[in-house]
Amino acid sequence: MDRLVTLNRRELLKTTTGLLTGWVIAGSPLALIAPAPAWAVDLTAFTSAEGTTLMSIARTIAPHDKLDDAAYALVIQAVDGDAAKDPNTRKMIGEGLAALGAGFAASSESERVEALKKIESSAFFQTMRLKTLQVLYSSPIAYAYFGYEGEAFSKGGYLFRGFNDLRWLPEVAAEDSGPLPAGA
Amino acid sequence: MARIEFQDQSAVVIIGSGAGGGTLAHELTRRGMKVVVLEAGKRQSTATFSQVPGEAFLQLTWLDARTQSGDWGVTKNFPTLPVWHCKTVGGTTVHWTAATPRFEPWELRARSTYGKVPGTSLIDWPISHEELKTYYLLAERRLGVTRRNDVPGLPASNNFKVMYAGAKKLGYKRVHTGHMAINSRANDGRGMCIQQGFCVQGCKMGAKWSTLYTDIPRAEATGNLDLRIECMATRIEHDAGGRVNAVIYRDGKGREQRQKARIVCIAGNGIETPRLLLLSDSSKFPHGLANSAGQVGRNYCHQIIGFVWGIFDKPVYSWRGATLAGVIEDEVKNDPSRGFVGGYRMELVTLDLPTLPLVGLPYGWGRDFASIMENYRNLAGMIINGEDMPRAENRITLNRDVKDAYGLPVANVHVDEHANDQAMRKHAQSQMSRVYDSIGAKRVVLGPTPPATHNTCSARMSADPREGVTNAWGQTHDIKNLFISDGSAMTTSGSANPTLTIVALALRQAEYVSREMKAHKI
């Protein structure tokens, strides 16, 4: 979130070509960790309209209805960064977006799925799919949403924090398990 | 640490510092030999291991280009990453998940046990289980393996409880938290497992055995080890008589260096080891070193690996706890009535949230894919670990159309699956689905074959020099002072995760090298 809100606004003075903004959904896991109720991502390779279509593509690839737009905006930020660095990537994605048309983001989910299925083998779609999977599930927003607790070394591992707290199945026989330290 | 001169002809040069190279380096240096270890990667430590999964992957993984071909699923699903091993001091023992079962006696007699299987190049190992067992016992003490030598097992995690309950419903008997090279209590100067679930990112507790913080520093403490990091071996040279006598490598600054050697031992994992032999061709050895029988790179094995996920209506939190600490061993048997030869293990597995969609799930997107991810809390996981069939045409070759950063041809990995491989995978997936179904899984998801982590047999041991690359001690049939010291030298893959066997073979090889050197035979 720091990356999303602060860092980007600081870089606003640089040339920006577009902007994605949104509100954090009240009561969502993100609301608990977000530093501000609104977020914004500056685009340096794509226009705001292109950014909106990219957001819609990411949401169609990995549709989690209750996951904040901010999580998807991180994907677009990464795609935008790649495109800003490499003109060929910019061109490939720009052409892919143009082929989908301006109405893509406003169309129904079934229409969007159908449109993406037609281009499933294209470099454009595969780039978007991979980037979506790589970025979407790596952010603190996603960790909070999916309930993933991440690294545990800094908290002493899960030994005393629920690694064996499952109670809806029988316990494992002692000879097939191993000793626990007191308190675990 | 020793500084061994480039011109020192008495040096043993070991290429690679993982399970094979690191163990061998320690064993030879403690016997007083001067050893140079060339390690292509950098040196990390428990303090520097990244705890961000994507960063950890980049920090530890061998990412130099490879190509691949053949019909196995990896070609399609992971076109740029056929195999997943490490490039770092400690090699793949840094990211391994530490399951350390032994080979079964009949697995070492694969050809005799399975009979003639058309379309395979199966042979028996040139070592008896009785002899290997001596070294398994040494290796198990060294690694602190659980459920051996009175070392207690690891405690059952949530993810294991799910697997265990299902396995017991099905009547499986040999189900436990595994033989693991992970400390269930403090041992050997290393702490106990605190169930972080970040085995693959490098164990920050050091509870999981790795040569990085055991054999390597102990070898350094002898004063006989010259460990050279970021040094990529590119060629092995030989004298007019055909004995190897030097290793050419690029150092961290890209400069070419030449280290003279009395003995060379290659332990670069199952892809780079045969690649280096092939890259070292000469007028005397036009097809590469140790390749007079044309066996270098052939018979490549990778084991039958695949994820099976069970989705339940209650939380599992599978990410909490040692990644692979659990096993069902009942299918480790040769029972052709199942429709295939050889056996397989069902092992516990979990993947962190960022890695699951990239490696663990079948190719997909859209609502169905997302619905699996939505159930991440309620997901339990297992992985198949089974014996795959060696085939002469499943092989590592040089792809002269693609060059690495040094201008050298990259390795191509070719794998066509044998019908036996497919039948075993299908059986395993079916049994694992039954394990989860028997305790009320809402859905079972069959994942893909991930990039291969168990790369073996590509320079295999054989009794008959026409059928392999080395003898029973990893000494190449063609060149007396050239050794293969990693999983490449394994004769068949078996159903056991390979590291314990690699360590056992390295311990055995160290005794042999020492003996032969003293006798001036090499």
Q: Which residues of B touch A115 (CB under 8 A)?
A: none
pLDDT at residue B258, rounded to an integer: 98
Indicate the residue of B146, B177, B369 with minimum beta-carbon distance to A62: B369
Would the CB atoms of A178 and B153 count as touching at under 8 Å? yes
According to DSSP, residue A122 is labeled S
Owner of token pair 């510092």:
B17
Distances (CA, A) of A73 to A47, A132, B221: 14, 10, 51
Whole-number Å distance between alpha carbons of B94 and B77: 25
Residue A112 domain flag: yes
Residue B130 CB coordination number (10 Å): 9
Whether B373 has its CB under 8 Å from any CB of chain A: the answer is: yes
3-state helix, strand and coil shares in percent for chain A, rounded to the nearest 5? 55, 5, 40
Confidence of residue A11 (pLDDT cuts 50, 70, 90): low
Residues of B in contact with A171 (CB under 8 A): 156, 161
Among left, alpha and beta (phi > 0; psi -120 to 50; other), residue A49 is alpha
Give me the half-sphere count of Cα atoms (radius 13 Å) on the Cβ side of residue B262. 19
pLDDT score recorded for residue A16? 79
As a whole number, the mean pLDDT across chain B is 97
Q: How far apart are CA B379 and CA A152, in angstroms?
A: 19
Structure tokens at B324: 């692979």
Chain B's closest residue to A148, CA to CA, is B353
Q: How does A37-72 read in b/e, with b if 16+ C-beta sit within 10 Å?
A: eebbbbbbbbeeebbbbbbbbbbbbbbbeebbbbbb
Tell me where in chain B the CATH 3.30.410 domain(s) lie. 147-203+304-386+417-451
Q: What is the rounded distance in angstroms from the CA atom of residue A121 to the CA atom of residue A116? A: 9
Candidates A64, A113, A162; nearest CB to B317: A162
| CB of B372 closer than 8 Å to CB of B445 | yes
pLDDT (0 to 100) of residue A9: 52
Q: Is the pLDDT of residue B240 over 90?
A: yes
Overall residue count recorded for chain B in this entry = 522
Per-residue pLDDT of B446-458, as tens digits, reads 999 999 999 999 9
B195 in contact with chain A, both atoms CB, cutoff 8 A: yes
B156 touches chain A (CB under 8 A): yes
Angle between helices B129-143 and B499-518 (to 10 degrees): 110
Interface test mutation site (partner A, options B57, B80, B157, B179, max chain A beta carbons within 10 A): B157
The DSSP output letter for A31 is H
> Which string of DSSP letters, residue by residue, matches B300-369?
-B--EEEEEEEE-SS---TTSS-TT--EE-TT-S--GGGSSSS-EEEEE----TTTIIIIIS-S--SHHH
Q: Which residues pair with B68 in a beta bridge?
A: B413
Q: How far is A68 from chain B (nearest CA, A)?
A: 14
Q: Report yes or no: B40 and B273 within 8 Å, Cβ to Cβ.
A: no
Half-sphere exposure of A127 (CA within 13 A, CB side): 19
Q: Does B328 touch chain A (CB under 8 A)?
A: no
Q: Is B174 on the interface with A (CB under 8 A)?
A: no
Check CB contact of B193 with chain A, cutoff 8 Å.
yes
**The domain containing residue A138 runs over which residues?**
2-146
Question: What's the pLDDT score for residue B276?
Answer: 98
8 Å CB contact of B204 and A161: no
Which structure tokens are listed for B242? Answer: 């055909």
- Chain A residues whose CB is inside 8 A of the B439 CB are 169
Span B100-129, pLDDT tens digits = 999 999 999 999 999 999 999 999 999 999
For residue A3, give the DSSP letter.
I
What CATH fold (topology level) applies to the domain B147-203+304-386+417-451?
A: Cholesterol Oxidase; domain 2 (3.30.410)
Q: Is the pLDDT of residue A3 over 70?
A: no
Pairwise pLDDT comparison (B508 vs B79), residue with the higher score: B508
| Paired residues of B225 in beta bridges | B35
User: Is residue A157 in some structural domain?
Assistant: no
Q: How confident is the model at residue A2 (pLDDT cuts 50, 70, 90)?
A: very low
Res B41 pLDDT > 80: yes
Coil, strand or helix at B55: helix
**Rounded to whole angstroms, how far apart are CA atoms B427 and A9?**
55
φ, ψ of residue B482 in degrees (nearest 5): -120, 125
Query: What's the sign of the alpha-carbon dihedral B440, B446, B452, B455?
Result: positive
Please report where in the chains the tokens 């509100």 appear, as a residue.
Answer: A23
Quote the CA–CA distance of A3 and A101 in Å, as a whole number.
Answer: 30
Q: Cβ contacts (< 8 Å) between B144 and chain A: which residues?
A: none
Question: What pLDDT is recorded for position A6?
Answer: 47
ipTM: 0.94
Nearest CA in chain B to A180: B155
The answer to whether residue A10 is domain-embedded is yes
Could you tell me the pLDDT band of residue A7, with boundaries at 50, 70 and 90?
Answer: very low
Q: What is the mean pLDDT of residues B346-363?
A: 96
Check: CB of residue B175 under 8 Å from CB of residue A176: yes
- Residue scoring higher pLDDT (B39 or A41): B39
Structure tokens at B383: 């992985």
| Cβ separation A113–B366 shorter than 8 A | yes
Backbone phi, psi, residue B34, to 5°: -85, 125
β-strand pairing of B327-328 with B175-176: antiparallel
| Residues of chain A with C-beta less than 8 angstroms from the C-beta of B315 | 166
Mutate to test the interface with A, among B78, B151, B161 (most CBs of A within 10 A): B161
- Please state the rounded mean pLDDT for residues B426-438: 98
Show the beta-strand stretches assigned E in B179-243.
Answer: 225-228, 232-238
For residue B443, the cross-strand partners are B311
pLDDT band at A173 (very low <50, low <70, confident <90, very high): very high
Task: Dump the DSSP string for B434-467.
Answer: HHHHTTT-SEEEE-PPPSBS--B-TT-B-SSTTS
CB-based contact B158 A164, cutoff 8 Å? yes
pLDDT, average across residues A165-177: 98
> Quick one: average pLDDT of B376-399?
98
Under 8 Å CB-to-CB from B75, ≥6 apart: which residues?
Answer: B68, B69, B82, B415
Quickly tell me which residue has 């608990």 as its tokens. A32
Out of B196, B367, B439, closest to residue A63 by CB: B367
Express as a percent the part of chain B with pLDDT over 70. 100
**Between A62, A154, A178, which is nearest B370 by CB?**
A62
CB contact under 8 A, A170 and B165: yes
Which residues of chain A have a CB within 8 Å of the CB of B192? 181
CATH architecture of B1-47+82-96+101-145+210-302+393-411+456-522: 3-Layer(bba) Sandwich (3.50)
Is B54's pLDDT higher than 90? yes
Angstrom distance (rounded) from CA A91 to CA B184 = 54
* B409 in reach of chain A (CB within 8 A): no
Domain with CATH 3.50.50.60 in chain B: 1-47+82-96+101-145+210-302+393-411+456-522
Is beta strand B304-311 parallel, antiparallel or unpaired with respect to B443-446?
antiparallel
Number of separate domains in chain A: 1
Question: Does residue A27 lie within any of the structural domains?
Answer: yes
Taking an 8 Å cut-off on Cβ atoms, the answer to whether A177 and B196 are in contact is no
Calculate mean pLDDT across residues B369-381.
98
On the CB side of B284, CA atoms within 13 Å amount to 14
Q: How far apart are CA A152 and CA A155, in angstroms?
A: 5
Are B244 and B265 in contact, with CB atoms under 8 Å apart? Answer: no
* Chain A CB contacts of B152 below 8 Å: 178-179
- Hey, what amino acid is at B21? G
Tokens of B28: 């030879």
Name the DSSP letter for residue B182: B
Q: Is the CB of B161 less than 8 angstroms away from the CB of A159?
A: no
- Residue A166 forms part of a structural domain: no
Contact criterion met (CB < 8 Å) for B164 and A179: no
DSSP 3-state of A143: helix
The answer to whether the CB atoms of B353 and A137 lie below 8 A apart is yes
Rounded to 5 degrees, φ, ψ at B389 are: -85, 130
Hey, is the C-beta of B135 within 8 angstroms of any chain A C-beta? no
pLDDT of B481 above 90: yes
Convert the pLDDT of each residue in B177-219 to its tens digit: 999 999 999 999 999 999 999 999 999 999 999 999 999 999 9
8 Å CB contact of B146 and A150: no
Q: Nearest CB to B353: which of A129, A142, A153?
A: A142
The one-character DSSP state at A112 is: H
Question: Given the structure tokens 């997302």, which residue do they identify?
Answer: B370
Strands B12-15 and B263-266: parallel
Q: Is the pTM of this model over 0.90?
A: yes
> For residue A22, what pLDDT is reported?
87
- Residues of B within 8 A of A138 (CB-CB) are 52-54, 353-354
- Written as one letter, the residue type at B32 is G
**Span B307-330, mean pLDDT?**
98
CA angle, B311 then B183 then B94, to 5°:
75
Helices of type H across B181-340: 215-221, 269-279
Cα distance between residue B58 and residue B87, in whole Å? 10
Contact B320 A142 (CB under 8 A): no
Q: Do B152 and A113 count as a contact with CB atoms less than 8 A apart?
A: no
Question: From the candidates A151, A161, A167, which should be mutated to test the interface with B, based on the most B CB atoms within 10 A?
Answer: A151
Query: Is B365 in the A-facing interface, judged by CB distances under 8 Å?
Result: yes
